[in-house]
């Protein structure tokens, strides 16, 4: 669960750089702007490896039947989706027909999978809050 918080925060930071740039310029590029390392490089260097570790752990948990709740399934599935999209983008770059626009997809692939993870985190928090309210009502009786 803690790793999902890390990856979602990293994806949010990279989205602050890549999404506006993609919408305004139609591309995502390297930059000498002082916010580039803070909003893109450092979060990506932290978030992508953490996402890979969580995705590998999620695959193991699926095999053991441990991803039983919807929030945990969304968090694990989102991490697996993130890694799968990044892997596909990397494979596309190796093809002789690659023309460089794959970097745009790679920059956005991290955020796409992390939206699913964020949804799982929100559902997890909502369920915990709902259970806490029930407990408070039962204790008040």
Structural domain range at position 71: 2-140
Counted domains in the chain: 1
Reported as a single tens digit per residue, the pLDDT across 40-96 is 889 999 999 999 999 999 999 999 988 889 999 999 999 999 999 999 888 888 888
Alpha helices in the chain (DSSP H): 2-25, 35-36, 42-63, 70-94, 102-140
The pLDDT of residue 100 is 67
- Out of 23-32, 62-71, 85-94, 112-121, least confident range: 23-32
Angle at 87 between CA 118 and CA 96, to 5 degrees: 145
| First vs last C-alpha separation in the chain | 33
Q: Are 112 and 82 in contact (CB under 8 A)?
A: yes
In the block, residue with structure tokens 């992390």: 114
d(CA 70, CA 84): 20
Could you tell me which residue, 53 or 133, shows the higher pLDDT? 53
């Amino acid at each position: 669960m803690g790793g999902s918080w890390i990856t979602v925060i990293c994806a949010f930071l990279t989205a602050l750089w890549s999404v506006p740039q993609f919408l305004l310029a139609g591309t995502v590029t390297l930059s000498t702007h002082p916010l580039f390392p803070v909003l893109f490089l450092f979060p990506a260097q932290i978030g992508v490896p953490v996402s890979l570790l969580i995705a590998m752990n999620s695959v193991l948990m699926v095999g053991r039947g441990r991803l039983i709740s919807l929030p945990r399934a969304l968090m694990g599935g989102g991490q697996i989706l993130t890694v799968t999209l990044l892997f596909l983008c990397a494979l596309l770059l190796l093809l002789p027909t690659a023309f460089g626009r794959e970097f745009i997809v790679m920059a956005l692939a991290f955020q796409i999978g992390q939206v699913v993870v964020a949804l799982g985190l929100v559902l997890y928090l909502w369920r915990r809050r709902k259970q806490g309210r029930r407990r408070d009502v039962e204790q008040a009786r």
